[in-house]
Amino acid sequence: MRGALRPLTSVTAFCCWASGYCGVAMRLVVETGQGLPEANSYIVESDAQAFLPSALADDWLAFLPDERIDHLIAATQFIDVSFRWAGKIKSLEQGLLWPRTGITFQGHEVSPDDVPRQIRRATLMALQILMQEGFDLFQSTGDLLIKRERLAAIETEYFAPPDGDGDYKSAFTDINNLLKGFYITQTKGGVIVAEVLRR
């Protein structure tokens, strides 16, 4: 784990912005595929504990319950807003961008009554990045020396990190590769043209 975790207030601020429930204590509502209006996460706490490497799992268990919820919601919202998803949402009332209709993945129709396992796993991967690099990685670019960022896939051009550690770059690439086929990209001359969705 690189250094101390960023202050949780940043995570809470992101959850506040994404959910619209600022100043209200949040409870975890996991999307089951029904298109729940109050859904705010694709994963549950036990998913995180099973997925995270041992060093981060210890940190996870040390969190207060509300801190775990904040992290799960932040990771979910990061996945939701970072891509232009194919298809359409199942319902105008649903709280998250999955489940969706009209999607084919690797030649198979994706059920509109479930959240694909790839989406859930990508959310776990985002959670791991959040815990390793701190919430500012998702929000602030100043201290990361990010030169250019285009998100439809998460496509980022980086200067060399100050400490020489570029592991987070490959982590974003892994998320892109895992979800390829679920999001929309446009190409011109073989170059990905991606709409910037994160502000």
What's the pLDDT at 172? 84
Model's pTM, two decimal places?
0.72
Start-to-end CA distance of the chain, whole Å, equals 27
User: Distance between CA atoms of 26 and 24, rounded to whole angstroms?
Assistant: 6
What's the pLDDT at 138? 59
Q: Where are the alpha helices (DSSP H) in the chain?
A: 8-19, 45-51, 54-62, 65-81, 117-133, 136-139, 167-179
User: Distance between CA atoms of 83 and 182, rounded to whole angstroms?
Assistant: 9
Q: Are the CB atoms for 42 and 98 separated by under 8 Å?
A: yes
What's the pLDDT at 115? 97
What's the pLDDT at 142? 39
pLDDT in tens, the chain (199 residues): 333 333 333 444 445 544 444 445 579 999 999 999 999 999 999 999 999 999 899 999 999 999 999 999 999 999 999 899 999 999 999 999 999 999 999 999 999 999 999 999 999 999 999 998 877 655 544 333 333 444 444 554 444 444 444 555 678 889 999 999 999 985 444 333 333 333 3
Q: Are the CB atoms for 153 and 83 separated by under 8 Å?
A: yes
